[in-house]
Amino acid sequence: MTQTPLPTAAVDFAAAPAVPDGATIVMRGVSKWYGDKVALSDVSFAIGPGVTAMLGPNGAGKSTTLRLLTGQLRPSRGDVRVLGEAVVDNPALYRRIGLVPEQESLYPHMTARGFLEFSARLYRLPDPAAAAERALNLVALLDVADRGLGGFSKGMRQRVKIAQALVHEPEVLVLDEPLSGADPRQRVELMGVFDEMAAAGATVLISSHVLSEVERMGSNVLVLVDGKLAAEGDFRQIRDLMNDRPRRVRVLCERPRLVAAALVQLPGIVELRLDGGGIEVETNDARAFAVAVPRLARDAGARLTGIESLDESLESVFRYLVE
């Protein structure tokens, strides 16, 4: 998967109005309110080709953001641009965007193939039948292509939704919970499809609450909390910026009690406990800790077998951000 590196912290457009090079989706100072309820508040970000995951708890503003990005909603304030163009009232832009909506419903009177060909015709593709066939093949639905959508399971409907978003080979693909209902094997296959699109230069924006899957698809994230952008960029780099959060590390070594006694003397240690065959440590100074551990283990006559970070996962970063 190719990722175009973009700013790893939320972009302050007021201070830096220029859009980063290569950005395909840009929101600047976007707010959206419904009556007196604020759904999004002054959100600005820019993302480029590659897979980006949009994360956030329920009610954080993810769906509102996706709707703004696909022109289904008009921002109350601010500017939304996709591929350099305004989205609202710009149907021509839909030729370059694919959307997998959250809702499950499809036309029950159509077959999967019929629906895909219908979509291809609305995109005015030169060969709708071939485009439908290709999209059905991508989501592994060719064997049921001529069955009515009314009888499809949730997972099959989900794949049809993905196929209709891919049928015109969009440059920007926006997916709202695309893997819900898919079984584990299908999830892996679909993630492979998104990866391939990203590798081919497309921008893939995925809203999902299944963090383990998001993590497997890439490291670029947008985190929304209470209608505001809490973080943007590579989640590992975001973790690095969280200086107020101690690092949790597990040290695997021989003679753990002896090593632990030495480790507890290090500056920045917040908590230390023996955990099975290893030592679990919370430290405010991960760099100094990493340098000191091999030396302390050697001094204690213990063989060091491993050091692993316990909170560099996306889930940990996400938990820290939304807490």
Q: Which of 8, 42, 123, 275 binds other proteins (CB under 8 A)?
A: 123
Q: Which of 97, 206, 230, 292 binds other proteins (CB under 8 A)?
A: 97
Binding status of residue 36 toward other proteins by CB under 8 A: no
The residue type of 99 is: L
Strand partners, 307: 251
Residues 73-92 that bind other proteins (CB under 8 A): 74, 89, 91-92
Binding status of residue 205 toward other proteins by CB under 8 A: no
Cβ count near 177 (within 10 Å): 18
Torsion sign, CA atoms 206, 22, 1, 230? negative
* Residue closer to other proteins (CB basis): 35 or 184: 35
* Residue closer to other proteins (CB basis): 66 or 314: 66
Binding status of residue 126 toward other proteins by CB under 8 A: yes
Do the beta carbons of residue 81 and residue 26 sit within 8 Å? yes
Q: Binding string, 293-322, against other proteins, x = CB under 8 A?
A: ------------------------------
Q: Which of 48, 75, 128, 227 binds other proteins (CB under 8 A)?
A: 128
Q: Return all residues near 98 (Cβ < 8 A) that are at least 6 apart.
A: 164, 165, 166, 167, 168, 170, 172, 173, 174
- Point out which span in 177-185, 193-201, 232-240, 308-316 binds other proteins (CB under 8 A): 193-201
* Residue closer to other proteins (CB basis): 159 or 168: 168
Rounded distance, CA 61 to CA 43, Å? Answer: 10
Residues 145-164 that bind other proteins (CB under 8 A): 164
- Could you give the residue ranges of the DSSP H alpha helices within the chain? 62-69, 112-122, 128-138, 154-166, 184-199, 211-217, 235-241, 256-263, 286-299, 314-322
Binding status of residue 61 toward other proteins by CB under 8 A: no
Binding status of residue 33 toward other proteins by CB under 8 A: no
* Residue closer to other proteins (CB basis): 5 or 201: 201
Q: Least distance from C-beta 56 to other proteins, angstroms?
A: 20
- DSSP characters over 98-152: EEE-S-----TTSBHHHHHHHHHHHTT-S-HHHHHHHHHHHTT-GGGTTSBGGG-
User: Which residues would be at the binding site for other proteins (CB under 8 A)?
Assistant: 70-72, 74, 89, 91-97, 99, 101, 103, 105-107, 109-110, 118-128, 164, 168-171, 197, 200-202
